[in-house]
Every structure is written in structure tokens, then in C-alpha cells.
């Protein structure tokens, strides 16, 4: 019985990495695609919940990473994905003025200065915005 339990435990532990979906978002955060493409690609790969869990007044939609998804941006762990594209049914409108025609990004665990340094070193044109202590947004805005 003990041996069967140990064998089963070992099999489950060895399969654990297969249950996690890992993805680095550095390339799309170079700000060279639309919000629709960024969000649709993540949803198609089942890396995010395709329905926003929050919509800001400026129409930015917040999406949660899918259970088991391990998303990173420039080496920082992603805690939320954000996006909006005007006249796109994938996104809900807020009650205020939209932030841009198309905007997207990631919210990460990391100090603003360290995140900004990593984004700059990668050559991205993304905007880095302080959200809270050790929470920073990396944001692409297309007019």
C-alpha cells in the first residue's frame, strides 16, 4: 500500500509541470500589435479567462490569468492582463472616455524602477506605471 502511494505520488509530481502553462509576454509587450490580437492570443492559448473580471471607467478591461498559468513579463510574475480596443465586442466599455483606440498590457509583481529598467533594456516602447508598492503596470497604447 505504501509503495503504491509513493509510486502514485511520484507520478503526480512528475506530471505537475505539464499542468502549468508558462508563457513569457516580452515579445507582445514590445507594443507592436493590437489589443485584440494580444488578448485573443492569450485567450486562445487558455492562458487567461476570456471574460474580463473588471472594467475601469476608461474602458480598460482586466483579465485574470487562467488557473495554472505562469505568465511573466520581462522576468516579473504577471498578476493581471489588461486591454481595450474600440468597437471590438471582445471588450466592454466603461462609463468614461476610453484611454486609447487600442491599449493593452500586464500588471506585474515588481518595483517600478526595476520593471522600468527591464523594459528599457529590452528596447520596448511600453509605458511603465506605478500601481501600488511592488505592483507595476506595463502598458502599450496605440492611438
Q: Assess if residue 12 is contained within a domain.
A: no
Q: Are residues 63 and 52 in contact, defined by beta-carbon separation less than 8 angstroms?
A: yes
Q: Which are the contacts of 43, defined by CB distance < 8 A and separation ≥ 6? A: 50, 63
What's the CA gap between 13 and 84, in Å, rounded? Answer: 39
Average pLDDT of every residue of the chain: 88
Q: Assess if residue 16 is contained within a domain.
A: no
Q: How many folded domains does the chain comprise?
A: 1
What is the span of the domain harbouring residue 71? 21-142
What's the CA gap between 8 and 26, in Å, rounded? Answer: 37
Complete DSSP assignment for 39-69: HHHHHHTTSB-SS-SEE-TT--EEEPBPTTE
Secondary structure letter of residue 30 according to DSSP: G
- The phi-psi region of residue 31 (left if phi > 0; otherwise alpha if psi is between -120 and 50; otherwise beta) is left
Q: What is the pLDDT of residues 13-69, one digit of tens each?
A: 444 444 457 799 999 999 999 999 999 999 999 999 999 999 999 999 999 999 999
Grid cell digits, residue 77: 510574475
Q: Assess if residue 40 is contained within a domain.
A: yes
Least confident of 2-16, 82-96, 109-123: 2-16
Q: Assess if residue 10 is contained within a domain.
A: no
Predicted local confidence at residue 20, as pLDDT? 56
Q: Assess if residue 5 is contained within a domain.
A: no
Q: Assess if residue 9 is contained within a domain.
A: no
Predicted local confidence at residue 18, as pLDDT? 44
Q: Assess if residue 3 is contained within a domain.
A: no
Q: Assess if residue 8 is contained within a domain.
A: no
As a whole number, mean pLDDT of residues 61-78 equals 97
- Say if pTM beats, i.e. exceeds, 0.75: yes
Amino acid at each position: 500500500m505504501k509503495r503504491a502511494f509513493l509510486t502514485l505520488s511520484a507520478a503526480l509530481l512528475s506530471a505537475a509541470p505539464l499542468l502549468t502553462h508558462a508563457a513569457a509576454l516580452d515579445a507582445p509587450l514590445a507594443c507592436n500589435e493590437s489589443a485584440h490580437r494580444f488578448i485573443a492570443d492569450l485567450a486562445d492559448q487558455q492562458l487567461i479567462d476570456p471574460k474580463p473580471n473588471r472594467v475601469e471607467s476608461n474602458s480598460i478591461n482586466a483579465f485574470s490569468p487562467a488557473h495554472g498559468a505562469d505568465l511573466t513579463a520581462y522576468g516579473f510574475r504577471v498578476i493581471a492582463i489588461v486591454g481595450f480596443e474600440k468597437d471590438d465586442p471582445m471588450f466592454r466599455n466603461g462609463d468614461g472616455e476610453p484611454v486609447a483606440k487600442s491599449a493593452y498590457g500586464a500588471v506585474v509583481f515588481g518595483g517600478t524602477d526595476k520593471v522600468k529598467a527591464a523594459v528599457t533594456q529590452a528596447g520596448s516602447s511600453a509605458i511603465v506605471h506605478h500601481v501600488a508598492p511592488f505592483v507595476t503596470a506595463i502598458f502599450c497604447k496605440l492611438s
